[in-house]
Amino acid sequence: MAEVCMENYDKAFRDIARAGDILGSGVNFGCGSSRGQAATAILAKKTPLLLAKSFGNIFYRNSINNALVGVEVKKLVQRLRETFKAEADGAVLTRRTSWGFVWDVRRSKATVTEGEDGQTWSQKVGELPPNVQEIIACGGLEK
């Protein structure tokens, strides 16, 4: 499944994304992906975390069921678009950045560092309820 992950979006994704990468996306990520395979394909690529402006409801629930964590970080999507807009001519869909992301689950706070010498900022993010944390910690509902 890892070989075809995100193939409909960008065929180059397979060669660019590496194990342990965080996948950032835009609005309503996963909308139309009503089957659990959408989440398991991302996990097969060894992508442990999704960041987006928002998620499709069914995809988000399937992600939790499969222990794939998604966090809505609206400002991050905005900053990525602003930063890479000059390069964005539609040709580059997948890119690696040197940006850092730290998520304080207890405080529901995300901290982003925009590259090695870039600015650091924080944003309040949605709470991850204890029952969802337990599902993730157990490796999903099926495990």
CATH number of the domain within which 25 lies: 3.20.19.10
143 domain-assigned: no
- Residues 6 or more apart from 83 whose CB is under 8 A from it? 114
The reported pTM is 0.91
Say if 70 falls within a structural domain: yes
Ordered DSSP codes for 68-129: -EEEE-HHHHHHHHHHHTTT-SSS--------EEEEETTTTEEEEE-STTS-EEEEE-----
Chain segment 104-142, per-residue pLDDT in tens: 999 999 999 999 999 999 999 999 999 999 999 999 998
Give me the domain span that covers residue 85.
2-137
Q: How many domains does the chain have?
A: 1
Mean pLDDT computed over every residue of the chain: 93
Question: Is residue 37 one of the residues assigned to a domain?
Answer: yes
